[in-house]
Amino acid sequence: MKGWWWKGLSVVLLLYVVLVGLHTPLGPALVYASLDRIAPGPITVGATGYNTHFTKETPQVWLENDGYRVCAAAVDVHSDVLLQATFNVPPGLRSNMTSLWAWDATDGPVVLRDAFFTEELGKDLQGAGCTVSTTERSGFSFPNRTILNETIRNLFFHVPMWFTMMVLMTIAFVQSLLVLRKGNLAHDRMALSAVDTSLLFAALGLITGSIWARATWGDWWTSDPKLNGAAVTVLIYAAYLILRGSVPDPHKRARLAAIYNIFAYVLMMVFLMVLPRLTDSLHPGNGGNPAFSQYDLDSSLRAVFYPAVTGWVLLGVWAYTLHLRTARLISIADEANDR
């Protein structure tokens, strides 16, 4: 049973991720407004909520523009997810975009950020406008973010796949260094097993990412630096496997593959960690797009995301050890046949 504790831990963590990650409800939020532009004067806005519990007693709906608030003159609740609010928009709002907020005792504050493009800007409004309640709701839920909505749960699968791939490729990188230092074919076998296993998780990362892109960005693939970098990385490591198959001598093959693998690892870091941060990217944390820690990864998501990363990485290492064990058995069988 030696060494089985971390394998059991990976299973427990991933069961926790599946159960909690897929069954915890999203927090309430506003997801749609009937208008997309507002101008000074009276307006009536219809709003649609998700997981909300609007009632006739919903006390407050307001517009917020650069810290200035305009409370609704009247609120008509049609159902627990539909309401209509009437506002008298003052002239001279401060910012191009205005958010729509609602509050009740059950849901706490819910928001559709940057719901309206705002006309006739100015700086003449003083103070914060009307007084509103910001008392938060109680209970455990995941954040309900615009565009992401329910797909935010893919964070527990897509992102850990790439973490796992990078851990395995790091193992391959270290083993390649040891090949050049010691010339031991055992280290070459370890590097190959790590690359083979990492490509499995890279494929899963591409698949889950493509599904996520279709749901949030409207297409299966976009011209995004990180997406393109991930695809190029997979092709580079696929060429590593082709290179190995073209050299029959095992010692020469091990050294050439080790040199190639070291350069492939450096290129992976450039394509996945450096270039996306230097250019515009749809991915969080790249090209000025807010990172998960600033936008989505609040305390409720961390409670599942960190176990997900740990569980997937441990599962990936477990798969690597099984692949390596198989490779060793094949090597022993080949040596026996050569005798």
Cβ proximity of 109 and 101 under 8 Å? yes
Q: How does DSSP classify residue 259?
A: H
> What are the structure tokens assigned to 136, written together?
């938060």
Residue 322 counted as domain residue: yes
Residue 240 counted as domain residue: yes
Residue 183 counted as domain residue: yes
- Residue 293's pLDDT band (cuts 50, 70, 90): low
Q: In what helix (H) or strand (E) does residue 68 lie, and over which residues does it extend?
A: strand 68-71
DSSP lists the bridge partners of residue 30 as 49
Residue 22 counted as domain residue: no
> Which residues are CB-contacts of 237 (< 8 A; sequence separation ≥ 6)?
169, 195, 198, 199, 202, 264, 268
Residues 155 and 241 in one domain: yes
pLDDT at 292 over 60: no
Calpha distance 312→168 (Å, rounded): 11
Give the count of beta carbons closer than 10 Å to the beta carbon of residue 242. Answer: 8
Supply the pLDDT for residue 311.
Answer: 96
Residue 82 in 3-state DSSP? strand
Nearest to 91 by CA among 123, 63, 137: 123
Residues 169-210 have pLDDT tens digits of: 999 999 999 999 998 899 999 999 999 999 999 999 999 999
Residues 94 and 158 in one domain: no
pLDDT at 294 over 50: no
pLDDT at 283 over 90: no
> What are the structure tokens assigned to 210, written together?
């493509």
Residue 61 domain boundaries:
29-118
Q: In what helix (H) or strand (E) does residue 275 lie, and over which residues does it extend?
A: helix 275-278
Name the residue with higher pLDDT: 127 or 45.
45
Supply the pLDDT for residue 12.
Answer: 96
- Residue 286's pLDDT band (cuts 50, 70, 90): low
Cβ proximity of 49 and 30 under 8 Å? yes
pLDDT at 45 over 90: yes
Residue 37 in 3-state DSSP? strand
CATH number of the CATH domain containing 64: 2.60.40.10
End-to-end CA distance of the chain, in Å? 35
CA triplet 275, 180, 177: central angle to 5 degrees? Answer: 40
Residues 52-87 have pLDDT tens digits of: 999 887 779 999 998 899 999 999 999 999 999 999
**The dihedral sign for the CA sequence 130, 76, 137, 153:** negative
Residue 46 in 3-state DSSP? strand
Mean pLDDT score, 285-312: 72
Q: Of 118, 135, 157, which marks where a domain is finished?
A: 118
DSSP lists the bridge partners of residue 76 as 84
Nearest to 173 by CA among 247, 268, 84, 78: 268
pLDDT at 8 over 70: yes
What is the tally of structural domains in the chain? Answer: 2
What are the backbone dihedrals phi and psi of residue 242, each rounded to the nearest 5 degrees, phi first? -65, -40
Calpha distance 249→84 (Å, rounded): 75
Judged on CB neighbours under 10 Å (0-12, 13-18, 19+), 193 is buried
pLDDT at 2 over 70: no
Q: Of 77, 98, 118, which marks where a domain is finished?
A: 118
Name the residue with higher pLDDT: 148 or 114.
114
Cβ proximity of 25 and 51 under 8 Å? yes
> Which residues are CB-contacts of 294 (< 8 A; sequence separation ≥ 6)?
none
Calpha distance 81→30 (Å, rounded): 9
Residue 230 counted as domain residue: yes
The 8 Å CB, 24+ separation contacts for 320-328 are 320/168, 320/171, 320/193, 320/194, 320/197, 323/193, 323/196, 323/197, 324/189, 324/190, 324/193, 327/189, 327/192, 327/193, 328/189
For 66: left if phi > 0, alpha if psi spans -120 to 50, otherwise beta; the answer is: left
pLDDT at 44 over 80: yes
Residues 239 and 113 in one domain: no
Instruction: Tell me the residue length of the chain.
Output: 339
Supply the pLDDT for residue 138.
Answer: 79
Mean pLDDT of the chain: 88
Mean pLDDT score, 252-260: 94
Residue 157 counted as domain residue: yes
Residues 85-97 have pLDDT tens digits of: 999 998 888 889 9
Supply the pLDDT for residue 281.
Answer: 66
pLDDT at 291 over 70: no
- Residue 147's pLDDT band (cuts 50, 70, 90): confident
- Residue 295's pLDDT band (cuts 50, 70, 90): very low
pLDDT at 232 over 50: yes
Supply the pLDDT for residue 11.
Answer: 95
Residues 211 and 112 in one domain: no
pLDDT at 157 over 90: yes
Name the residue with higher pLDDT: 284 or 79.
79
